[in-house]
Structure 1
């Protein structure tokens, strides 16, 4: 199994002086589906944005982020060829990041813009085969009938599925999903998570998804990385994240995390949970005071 994502010595300090990421070391193998959990402000979104090269870490250290062996950033500087690297990384945003006034199929085909000439990207002119690929991606996520509609007419769940279809058209080998179900109802949340799990399984695409609900992480991801105050405090099997362990990791904040119920399982449709892959013993590091 090859390595999809390598992070070492990554730190991020905002202008306010707050340390958003502290000495992050992480390796994710190709084909894994990994959950990032933590309370709001723990660094989940910031870490995903660093993986994609949308943010640069602190300089003056040895911070390194690589995707499939290509350097995304090193020592606080994003790589000069970052656009080429990003072509293989699909980013699914919490708020969908679609252009409301454009048809859904055009939003999806935006995933192929890195492969077309500039004049075609500016005029939004796509070939018949490209449109067919976009419609196939929409079919895979279950909304092929929505292709001609304006994106603004879709529900939140449908828009998130369109965002995943865009990543499929892009041909992404890595999908980074930033709280993709945070604003969705239970049924839409389940569909989005089912699709991400299916893409991971069928396409052997590496998926890293940030979540608030621990039970959802346990249902869909064999491995969970827990963040607390910008540090990795747990890296191991999702099934080992018992309430007792969460209280050891998060203290009083664990109650807020545990209070977020698994609204997907509450649908009670008797669907079995995704099978968990074997995972070695967890790495647990208690967060130190900043």
Structure 2
């Protein structure tokens, strides 16, 4: 069985020579649900953006990222066919990345854009089969009755589940979720995480989710990868995540339920930039 995600010699340096990622090797197998934890600024979001080709690694090294058997980037160069590669990668942003003025169904149908000709999408004339697929995806995440509402009228948890439904319509084999419950109440957080866990267990979708809440990571994920200053300092089962390991990961900033991470802005999808 080939890995779902392969990371080799990934280095990323921001202005001022500040190294934000320094990952020698990391592999995720198909069907795994892996939590990425770490303090704010540890590189969690940056890592996910590199996996989807939204950010480019440092040039000149031997870095390589492969997702679903296809090279996303190598030696600091994004693959020319990265848009096609992204068709198999669902990205769930912290701030939902929905178009508020459009119906929920239309937002979810955006997941089908990569496989439809432009003339079928400009006026919103999605084929009946794609509309049925979108309705089924909304049913899977428990909000089918909200399909005709404007996305802006949904609660945060409902919007996040709509974003997950969009990834289902997309046909993603890998879902990258960047702090998907950061702004949600406990019950909405549980529903979103349970939705991701169900898709992982029932559909075999590989899920890589960055989380600030360690207890949630331990509850829903069978594997936890911890970052500190862009480096992997722990990779193992939740049962191995001791207080000593957490002290190494977070230092003096051990997480608490009241602590909220900074908001990460997500780019609008192409269909919403008009």
TM-score after normalising by structure 2: 0.92
1:87 is matched with: 87
How far apart, CA to CA, are the structure 2 residues paired with 1:105 and 1:122?
15
Unaligned segments of structure 2, at least 5 residues: 260-274
1:166 is matched with: 166
SS of equivalent residue, structure 2 residue 122: helix
How far apart, CA to CA, are the structure 2 residues paired with 1:214 and 1:196?
17
Contact 1:212–1:260 under 8 Å retained in 2: no
Q: After superposition, what is the alpha-carbon deviation per residue over 1:256-278, rounded to whole angstroms, capped at 9, x for unaligned?
A: x2x2379xxxxxxxxxxxxxxxx
How far apart, CA to CA, are the structure 1 residues paired with 2:148 and 2:230?
42
* Residues 209-248 of structure 1 aligned to structure 2 (within 5 Å): 209-248=209-248
Q: Which has the higher contact order (CA 8 A, sep 6+)?
A: 2
Q: After superposition, what is the alpha-carbon deviation per residue over 1:226-273, rounded to whole angstroms, capped at 9, x for unaligned?
A: 0000111111112211212211444323x2x2x2379xxxxxxxxxxx
* Residues 150-161 of structure 1 aligned to structure 2 (within 5 Å): 150-161=150-161
How far apart, CA to CA, are the structure 2 residues paired with 1:218 and 1:180?
16
Q: After superposition, what is the alpha-carbon deviation per residue over 1:192-245, rounded to whole angstroms, capped at 9, x for unaligned?
A: 000000000111000000001111111001100000001111111122112122
Unaligned segments of structure 1, at least 5 residues: 263-290
Contact 1:64–1:71 under 8 Å retained in 2: yes
Contact 2:227–2:249 under 8 Å retained in 1: no
Contact 1:2–1:29 under 8 Å retained in 2: yes
Q: After superposition, what is the alpha-carbon deviation per residue over 1:35-82, rounded to whole angstroms, capped at 9, x for unaligned?
A: 000000000000000000110000000010001221000011100000
2:104 is matched with: 104
Measure how far apart 1:121 and its partner are: 2.2
Contact 1:30–1:204 under 8 Å retained in 2: yes
Contact 1:34–1:224 under 8 Å retained in 2: yes
TM-score after normalising by structure 1: 0.87
How far apart, CA to CA, are the structure 2 residues paired with 1:228 and 1:52?
21
2:266 is matched with: none
CA RMSD of aligned residues (A): 1.3
Contact 1:9–1:63 under 8 Å retained in 2: yes
How far apart, CA to CA, are the structure 2 residues paired with 1:260 and 1:165?
27
1:141 is matched with: 141
Question: Which sits farther off after the overlay, 128-137 or 159-168?
Answer: 128-137
Contact 2:8–2:26 under 8 Å retained in 1: yes
Q: Runs of 4+ in structure 1 displaced over 4 angstroms?
A: none
1:10 is matched with: 10
1:125 is matched with: 125
